[in-house]
A and B are shown apart, each in its own frame.
Chain A
Amino acid sequence: MALVTYIPRMFPLVILSDLELTAFWRRFLYYIPPAALSALIFPGILGATDSSIIAVIGGIVAAIMAYLKFNLLTIVLSAIAAVFLFQYLI
């Protein structure tokens, strides 16, 4: 894994300093992070806790906290708290 993340960073810096990516491939790379994150979140999140609904609630809480610009740790803790709460309410 270290190799796979290191080589794509080392390679162009050392060797391909003259390489110009076409607009298409630059857009491709631009869209990779949101695409990857979405693929990771859904539908995987539905299996996260014993109940899909509670998991979705956790996800929504995380989304709201993220939208309100809280830092990552706070976001994660909020989602955990929400899931914890709901698991005992239902």
Chain B
Amino acid sequence: MSIPFTKVSSFLGIDIGSCNTRGALFDQVNGQYHFLSAASAPTSIIHPFRNINDGLLQALLELQESSAHALLDDTSHLILPSLADGSGVDGLVVTFSAGDTLRILTLGLLQDYSAKSAKKLASFIPGCQVISLDLAGTPRRVDQLDAIISSEPDIILLAGGTDHGAINAIQQLEDVIVQACKSFPPEKIPTVIFAGNPTLVEEMVDRFQNVARFFAASNIRPEVNREDLTSGMEVLAQVVREKRTRQFEGFQNLQKICSTPPIPTSYGLDRIIRYLSMRYPSSKGVLGVDLGGTATTIISAQQGVSEMSVTAYGSGTGLKPFLENHTYEQVTRWLPDPSAIEAAPDYLWQKSLHPQAVPATTETLDIEQAAAREILHESMLTHFEQAGFRQASFELILASGSMLTRTPQPGEALLMILDGIQPVGISSIILDKNGLSSILGAAAPINSMIPVQIIDSSAYTNLATVISPIAKAKPGTPILRVSIDYGQSSVTRLDIKMGSLVAFPLPPGQTANIIMEPARGVVIDPFRKANGFKVYGGLCGVVIDARGRPLVLPKEDDLRKQTLQHWASILGA
């Protein structure tokens, strides 16, 4: 029996990732929610376990120990709701990104409109392969039929027609999909989602009866120039949840005790980034980055409206598609050590076979961090293309994923983020060290106070305030004069030269006033006019990244090595 979530005083969040299952515990003290503790264990959906229970139980046992809060009863079941002695929790939310690759086929009438929106919607699901059928290139019905069948989709996502728009063309596609579904063996018949002209929904319900499992969502293109993915996201999440329920033993039982249906991890992060973008009403917006084992999620949001892209590149099994589509040099250029350069290809392929392994030597850690830079960079380029951005200028960048959050030194995480994302202007860089964002996003619709209060707490790590001026000057040319007033007559002044990376110490919780005098033609921040403002401290202090955009590494090996080592030493990486 679940308690209305508005009444819960303690709740448990679980994220079932491709490598790890994480649990995070929250409690309410004096009306304020607090993050208590987090723990993780390897996800147990792989053979021979094929269930979520083993990994989940292990994570909860760890969490129970680290938080000193009883969560499980004598039979190892979660105590829900909590008991009078304080054991157990009152609410449970779950996010998931684990599982075998799901193949989603998208079809839309117009390539730049409904087809584009359908593809975008499908790409929100981590661990899926999106196949788009280009109708312009496949005009014949039989070819469309063959394309659908040969793509062996788990899910077909059909869009097209505005709210009072095309009917006949959609009906023709519907005929082809019905025909295709009849060609699949019963256990391989895909689930069909229609998110187009609502006039056709009733007819489609009839047509797909006894043919395929069918779901209708609101039109993702109700008007030609208006996209609305909200309903489509919910329906797609429901379908993916159903598919995963069939794949993972124990998932159904877990859903029964959840306070709200489990959602894909990317959806939870999207909610938090949208929320944060409302709190930072500048037109710069907020960026969320989650570098996972199988996929990388990038979300940008401005005033509550987000753009999300998920690439199939990650730090675990996601290395395989990355290595298949990129050159080794793209990764090894970030490595100063020749022996690491030589070892990198073999090591990264080996890691793709054993995604749960952790880098045990400094060399393998360097290699993984080099790959992380390129994965972030490639994912950002994909996001730019999808969202139509030209530069990465954000008020706040929230980073998660164990590759970024579990570094020996905070400077290593910051340098990976700066090298991979290459932000411009003034940004605060925050680390979600405990992987809370997606869980808070899952809890948000039922109790909006939880994310608000947790984000304001110390559960997140403020890494640095980074200032990345835009300048076209020769390396070594002074571009900026900076003075930082720490208060109590302590002022630091420095001339910043093009190509340099400079860090000023300013611990978390402290503030300073910064005044910058840019040289002619230098833009400190494309969205901010004032040259003097207050900055907040972080583990890496205040960092001025004047290395230029795009970041270009020296071609000559020795100079490249010196440069990389110099940057690392500045940030204590």
Tell whether A pairs with B: no
Seen from chain A, the residues whose Cβ lies within 8 Å of a Cβ on chain B are none
Residues of B within 8 A of A (CB): none
